[in-house]
Amino acid sequence: MIPARPPMTPLRQRMHDDLQLRNYSPQTIECYLRCVAQFAQYFRTSPERLGPEQVRQYQLYLVQEKHVSWSLVMQTVCALRFFYNVTLRQPRMLDYIPQPKRPKTLPTILSQAEVAALLRAPSHLKSRAMLTTLYAAGLRVSELCHLQVTDVDSARMVLRIQQGKGQQDRYVMLSPRLLPLLRQYWQRYKPRTWLFPGPDPTKPITRETVRRICHDAGVKAGVGKSVHPHTLRHCFASHLLEAGVDLRRLQLLLGHQNLRTTSRYLHVSPQALHATRAHLASRPRR
């Protein structure tokens, strides 16, 4: 059962409008509003009545008691900083909402054999088409959900990604192996607007549904690792590096604004590790 959304109070509406005026994405707007609402629900009062001590208590609660991921902690911090600085116009509160240092972790990478088993696992054609598109194009889950039928350009062999992260459009390659699967999928389901619609054909499939499909496929394939939609994006990047694609081209395909974000895949590329080992081994002895 999907929980009901909090009512749109005047304060919540003001924050929503502030985010929209600054061209935040719908996903970010929803995330920030949810984070502030959960903060208020924890203390059972309006967030405009809460100050530095309550912010500190809530952050400690998330980290020490609830043990949430650091990504959620960062989202909450960003949401509260926006709320106090922009919506309430209390910039002094920023000193009491520090941004924690994000731990640097390596992404989970599957071998090409594991990816192949994962993509074969779903019994439904639509599920196989979605997971294959995630991997073959290196998409974020939100980008997959918002693909439209007209975004598939088979003449130029590209997929158009509209308003991806950072509100940017880009093109990604349409794999020759993916295109026949998408054609087979289209002939069976005849989607009209959204390439992968939800139960209501006028709305796209939800990210939660894609996550569940991906998790179930990983279990069925016996991968033995935690598999999420973003795992397939990581695999796309790592496997391209292994195939010799340079970092700059990979950055453009992934839609990264900063090359440093892309360069972390060097840490999980066997070729990069082997090249370093070979270089060290070839140094002459003194």
Q: Is the pLDDT of residue 102 over 90?
A: no
Q: Tens digits of per-residue pLDDT, 219-236?
A: 999 998 889 999 998 888
| Catalytic-labelled residue, pool 146, 233, 234, 239 | 233
Q: Judge if 87 and 201 occupy the same domain.
A: no
Q: Judge if 184 and 252 occupy the same domain.
A: yes
Question: Could you tell me the pLDDT band of residue 280, with boundaries at 50, 70 and 90?
Answer: very low
Q: Judge if 139 and 216 occupy the same domain.
A: yes
**285: in domain:** no
Distance separating alpha carbons of residues 276 and 127, to the nearest angstrom: 39
Q: Judge if 89 and 136 occupy the same domain.
A: no
Q: Judge if 43 and 125 occupy the same domain.
A: no
Among 96, 126, 144, residue at a domain's last position: 96
Q: Judge if 90 and 122 occupy the same domain.
A: no
Map tokens 């920023």 to a residue: 94
Q: Tens digits of per-residue pLDDT, 36-86?
A: 999 999 999 999 999 999 999 999 999 999 988 888 899 999 999 999 999
Mean pLDDT of 152-156: 94
* Residue that wins the pLDDT comparison between 269 and 37: 37
**105: in domain:** no
**4: in domain:** no
The count of structural domains within the chain is: 2
Q: Judge if 68 and 118 occupy the same domain.
A: no
Any catalytic annotation for residue 140? yes
| Catalytic-labelled residue, pool 14, 165, 211, 215 | 165
**106: in domain:** no
Average pLDDT, the chain: 86
**192: in domain:** yes
- Report whether 38 contacts 50 (CB < 8 A): no
Q: Judge if 62 and 128 occupy the same domain.
A: no
Query: What is the CATH classification number for the domain harbouring 66?
Result: 1.10.150.130
Question: Could you tell me the pLDDT band of residue 8, with boundaries at 50, 70 and 90?
Answer: confident
Q: Judge if 131 and 266 occupy the same domain.
A: yes
Q: Judge if 119 and 255 occupy the same domain.
A: yes
| Catalytic-labelled residue, pool 12, 146, 170, 256 | 256
Among 46, 69, 96, residue at a domain's last position: 96
Mean pLDDT of 201-224: 94
pLDDT number for residue 273: 46
**195: in domain:** yes
Q: Judge if 14 and 139 occupy the same domain.
A: no
pLDDT number for residue 109: 85
**159: in domain:** yes
Domain that holds residue 225: 112-275
Distance separating alpha carbons of residues 234 and 222, to the nearest angstrom: 19
| Catalytic-labelled residue, pool 32, 58, 135, 265 | 265
DSSP the chain: -PPPPPP--HHHHHHHHHHHHTT--HHHHHHHHHHHHHHHHHHTS-GGG--HHHHHHHHHIIIIIS---HHHHHHHHHHHHHIIIIIS--GGGGGGS--PPPP--PPP---HHHHHHHHH--SSHHHHHHHHHHHHHT--HHHHHT-BGGGEETTTTEEEEEEETTTEEEEEE--TTHHHHHHHHHHHH--SSBSSB-SSTTSBPPHHHHHHHHHHHHHHHT--S---HHHHHHHHHHHHHHTT--HHHHHHHHT-SSHHHHHGGGGG-HHHHHHHHHHHHTSPP-
**229: in domain:** yes
Mean pLDDT of 101-124: 86
Mean pLDDT of 252-261: 75
Any catalytic annotation for residue 170? no
| Catalytic-labelled residue, pool 16, 34, 230, 264 | 230
Q: Judge if 14 and 119 occupy the same domain.
A: no
Among 62, 96, 130, residue at a domain's last position: 96
| Catalytic-labelled residue, pool 128, 140, 234, 239 | 140
Any catalytic annotation for residue 211? no
Any catalytic annotation for residue 165? yes
Question: What residues contact residue 6 under an 8 Å CB cut-off, 6+ apart?
Answer: 12, 33, 37
Query: What is the CATH classification number for the domain harbouring 147?
Result: 1.10.443.10
